[in-house]
Each structure stands twice: as structure tokens, then as C-alpha cells.
Amino acid sequence: MNFDHIDIIQSLIDGVLFGSIYALIGLGFTLIFGAMHKLNLAYAASGIAGAYAGLMSLTILGLPALMAFFIGPITAGIIGLLLYFACFRFMPRGNHLAPLMASIGALFFIDEVIIHETSGSPLSFPAVLPDAYFFLGEFGIRGDLLIVMGFSFILMAIVMLLLYRTKLGLGTRATSQQPVAALLCGIPTHRTNGTTFVLAGVLGGFAGCLLAASVGVLSPLLTLPLTIKGLIVTVIGGLGSIRGAIIAGFAVGAAEGLFLLVRGVNERDIYVFLLLFLFLVFRPNGLFGTTINRD
Amino acid sequence: MTYLLGIFQTIGVHTLLGLSAYLLLLTGQLSLAQVGFFAIGAYVSGILTVIFTWNIFPALAIGAFTAGFFAFLVGFPALRVKGLMLVVATISFSEIVRLFFFNLSWRVNVNGLEVGPDSTQGFREIRYFAANGWEQIHIVGLIWFMVIVVMLALWWLDQVRAGAVLRAVGTDELAAQSSGINLTMVKVAAMTGGGVIAGIGGGLFAHSTTYVDHHTFVILLATFAVSYPIIGGLRSVMGTLLAVIFIQGVIVEGLRFMGDYRNLIFGLLIILVMNLRPQGLLDGHLLEDLKKLLGRLTKGEKADA
């Protein structure tokens, strides 16, 4: 097979545009991990559940299509808070296995509720701009993916502002560095962690809606791939590094686009996963991870 | 009777899967690669009996060995990094294995029949037991023989130094390292052992169901594998067996009349158990109480005599 540079650059463009969704999910995983040093495996599922709620608001309440992008993230934020209470709030601090296992249980539960309610069949999701497709020189660019990317940039900027410019962000960062010291300084750590879960949930809801809008369908089959890709982005970016998660999101998207071109859709994910192992062997702390090898 | 034997078969295979995760959980590491090793064991031993017409026992052994070898290979990069990274790495490994078998097509003519793994169509012709006149009761016997061997081996491990080393790493890595324990070596050894156990389980599973495809080896099965020892508790191998009987026997089989809602209950149950008993159902306190009770009972008998 022969590819000229146009094919390669084209698939890189598509990949990077799509990678903004991975960056959002990776950012959410990183926020939660940064706050509690625990992994919430039900996170991507809560984002997809939010997208379903958004879709339901369109089909059942007959709201305009854009409303899905409000209802979805809000629902996902609420689910995020529920997940915090169900899987993390009451667990012993030193125990890492129990909350992880509980979040796996929550992942199944959310997945099964969706399958039960939709009889397992995919639903079509309204596209943002179905006909927008324009050319930049020789390269075609999907307008809706461009909007997805712009939207993600705005969200990332908001998250950064929240974390580094507000009192809430100060509390979150303090709790993440030293939970006990933060508590002694009068920071309500439980409330701070809860807020982080809501914030991450809202991000996940946006990511879920954006994913559904750019793929065109919403299906429970999306949750596991999104979870795994989000985790890979988190690890490649460096656990707990926000900047790393964003950059790794775009990088993984680009790599995925390239593998899709070279090896086809059936084998694409194999190479994405092998990429993760390359990082584990040669750069176990990821792109921007701290050298402290914490859990 | 066939139905009952079928349940025993499932419980046996799942117990092997749970025990393979149990061994690594003793060192405090959660691995979702167990389903990958299970798949390797299933496909390798299946290919050996079907394409190369081997006997079942060497085929199972080679399947288990191959799974153990891959566990060793994955263990090195994955266990150098800690805890949560391992979860991500092992999920990816399991998916790599699944996608590899999803793409694997290796059809050959054996005795006039075209057999072998057929990528998306699955691997359909693993009929060693039927072709050699084994009855279901023999198959169940073989599976449970393996379960008992593995459980005895893991129980014995707790009686010798190796078990103490594993638990030391699981309880406090820093303290274990300070006592001169090579963390990576211990974890990779546990990973390899877990891989071998999962490989045996996979081989038995493939031959008892006669058909495997990539749908069997999804992450769901890996989460089942780790949920057994975590829900059962890590203090004793019996915890894993109890959890398998509880989940496969009571929840999956017993609640069949509830249809779809069964799966909903499974997720909720995990969350509930983890909140109420973060150390698992059969935790240290309960085990101590049981021992005391047992001691009192035997003492009572002696007094009567």
C-alpha cells in the first residue's frame, strides 16, 4: 500500500480533531485522580449517560437540539456527585481496591441501565453541523469536528481558570497535595472532592454529547472504548498532569488516525494500546508526570 | 442433572479465574489482564488439540505455560509502575489479546474437515471431549480436580515464607522493600503464577464449551475475575470460592426469573458490598470468629468424650 503525504496529513487532521474528545475525558480522569489519588472507572460511563439524558430531553420533551448540550452535562455532573457518594465518600482512605471495585460496579450499573432502557439498540444523535465540510488547500476539514475542538478548548480554559484563579480551585489543589494539611487549614475536603467530581462529571457529559454528535449515534457500546482511551490518555500524559492529559488527548487522536489509515479499523486499537506499552517501558511517568511514583 | 453439572462447570472455571486474580491481589495489585491470559490458554490449548490433534493434558499444560509466559512479559513493564497504572496497562493488554484473536484466521484441513480459529466467526471445533468419549461428569471432575489442586497450592503458599512475602508486599510496600524484598520480582512472580492459573482455566473453558470467540474475552470477564477475590475477601482462598458460588450460583442462576434486572443488581451489589465490607465478605474478623467457633466446637466434643 502506498500513501502520499496528503493522505497522512489528512488522517492526522481528522485524528487531532477527534482527539479533543479524548482530551476532555482524560482531563476529567486527571481531575478526579488529582483530587483523591483514586481512579473512577465509571467516569466515561457517566459522560455517556449524560449524553443519553440530553438526547432524551430532545426526544421526549421536544427541546431544541442545542439544549442537549445543557441537559447532558448537568445530568452527568449529578451522576458524578452520586458516584462520589456511592463509591468514594465512605471508603477507608488507605484502601485503594474497594473504591476502584465499587466504581467498576457503577460502570456496569450505568451500562446496564442504558441497555435496559434502550433495549441495547443504538439511537441516532443530532449532528451539530451535518453539512459543514470545507477545504483548506488540499485537505478536507469536518466543520462539526472543528466546533467540537473549539468547544473543548473553551471548556479546558474554564477548568484551568477554575483551578488556578478561584478559591475553589485553591482548595482543590490543596486537598490534592496534602489532604490532612488541607483539612487542618479549614478546607472542607469532602465538599471539595465532591465539587471536583461534579466538575469532572460536567466535562464528561460534554465529552459524551460531543462524541455522540460527531459519531452520529449513541450506544452503550461507546462506554468501554471511551473509558479505555481516556485512561490511556491519562497515563501517557502523566497521571495527575492536566497539561499532559490535554496534549496526550490530541496525540492519541492523531496516532489513532494514522493507525486507521495504515492498518485498518480492525487493527487500529491494537497499535494504540501498544503505544501505551511503549510509554510504560520507556517513560513510565508519561509526558509530564512528576518523578514521584505515587499510586 | 445436566443443568446442575453445567452450573458446577461454570463455577469451577470462574473459580480458577478468580484464584488467578487472587494471587496478584495478595501483592496489592489489581490486574484486568486475567481475561487476556484466559484467552491465550483457551486458544493455544484449543489449537493444539484441534489442529495438531494433541492429547488434552499436554495441550492444557502448554496453554497454561504460554499464558504464564505472556504474564511474565507483561508483568515487567506493567509492574514497574504502580497500582493504578497497572489497571490501565492490563486493560490494554486484554484488549490487545482480544483484538489479536478477533483478527486471527488459521483454517487448516484435519481429517477432511476445515478447522481452526476463523477470526470474527470464532473458533468452533474444539470437540476433544466429545470425540474421545468423555462424559460431562468426567469434564466437571477434571475441572474441579484442577480447582482443588490450585486451591491447595495457594493454601500451602500461605503456610510458607513465599505467602508471607506476597502479603508483606500487599500490606506495605515500603516496609517490605526495607526488609530486603525485591518488589518487582515478587509482583512479576505473582503475575506469572496468576497467568498460569488463568491459562489452565481458559483451556478447560474452551474444551468444555467447544466454542470460543472474541466476545467471550471482553473486559467484563476480567472484572468478574477480580471481583470474586475482592468481594470474597483476601484473607483466605475460601473467600474467592464463596464469592463465585454466591455470584454465579445465587445471583446469576438463582435470580434468572428476574431477567434483565439481574445485571442491574450485580452492579449495585458490588457497590453495596464494597461500602459495607471494604475488606470483603470473609474478612479478618469474621475468619477469626469462625476459627474461635470451630475451636469451641471441637473443644466441646473433646469434653463430651
Q: Which residues of B34-64 are buried (b: 16+ CB within 10 A; e: fewer)?
A: bbbbbbbbbbbbbbbbbbeebebeebbbbbb
In this prediction, residue B70 carries a pLDDT of 94
The answer to whether B6 touches B191, Cβ cutoff 8 Å, is no
Interatomic CA distance for residues A200 and A25, integer angstroms: 9
Using alpha carbons, list the distances in angstroms from residue B151 to A111, A141, B224, B290: 34, 58, 18, 20
Closest-approach residue (CA) in chain B for A291: B81
C-alpha cell at A223: 462506554
* pLDDT (tens digit per residue) in A3-19: 677 888 888 888 888 89
Asked if the Cβ–Cβ distance from B96 to A267 is below 8 Å, we say no
Does any CB of chain A come closer than 8 Å to the CB of residue B102? yes
- Integer CA distances (angstroms), A223 to A67, A83, A84, A114, A197, in order: 22, 16, 19, 11, 18
- Within an 8 Å CB–CB cutoff, is residue B66 touching chain A? no
Using alpha carbons, select from B49, B21, B2 the residue that is nearest to residue B206. Answer: B49
B25: which chain A residues are within 8 Å (Cβ-Cβ)?
Answer: 97
Give A38's Cβ-side CA count (13 Å radius).
Answer: 26
CATH number for the domain spanning A210: value is 1.10.3470
Asked if pLDDT for residue B97 goes beyond 90, the answer is yes
Residue A55, domain extent:
5-282
> pLDDT at position A129, please?
64
B10 part of contact set with chain A, CB < 8 Å: no
Each as own residue / partner, the long-range contacts of residues A146-150 (CB below 8 Å, 24 or more positions apart, any chain) are: A146/A17, A148/A17, A148/A18, A148/A20, A148/A21, A148/A210, A148/A213, A148/A214, A149/A16, A149/A17, A149/A20
DSSP state, A37?
S
Is the pLDDT at B1 greater than 80? The verdict is no
> What per-residue confidence (pLDDT) applies to A292?
47
CA pair distance B15, B210, nearest whole angstrom: 19
Q: What is the CATH number of domain B2-304?
A: 1.10.3470
B176 has pLDDT over 60: yes
Q: Is residue A136 part of a domain?
A: yes
Distance CA A51, CA A125 (A): 9
Residue B185 and residue B193: Cα distance in Å, rounded? Answer: 12
Express each pLDDT in B192-211 by its tens digit: 999 999 999 999 999 998 88
Interface of B with A in 135-174 (CB under 8 A): none
- State whether residue A96 sits within 8 Å of chain B by CB: yes
Residue type (1 letter), A178: Q
Tell which A residues from 171 to 200 touch B, by Cβ distance under 8 Å.
none
A101:B89 CB<8 A: no
Q: What is the ipTM of this complex?
A: 0.83
Facing B96 at nearest CB: one of A97, A274, A280: A274
Per-residue pLDDT of chain A (295 residues; tens, 9 = 90+): 566 778 888 888 888 888 999 999 999 998 888 888 888 889 999 999 999 999 988 888 877 878 888 899 999 999 999 999 998 888 887 777 888 889 988 998 998 899 888 887 888 887 766 666 777 777 777 777 888 888 888 988 998 898 888 888 888 888 888 888 888 888 888 888 899 999 999 999 999 998 888 888 888 888 888 998 998 998 888 877 888 888 999 999 999 988 888 888 888 888 888 888 888 778 877 787 765 444 4
Q: Between B85, B93, B268, which is nearest A109 by CB? A: B268
DSSP assignments along A113-129, one per residue: HHHHHHTT--EE---SS
Cα separation of A77 and A84, whole Å?
Answer: 11
> Can you tell me the mean pLDDT for B16-45?
92
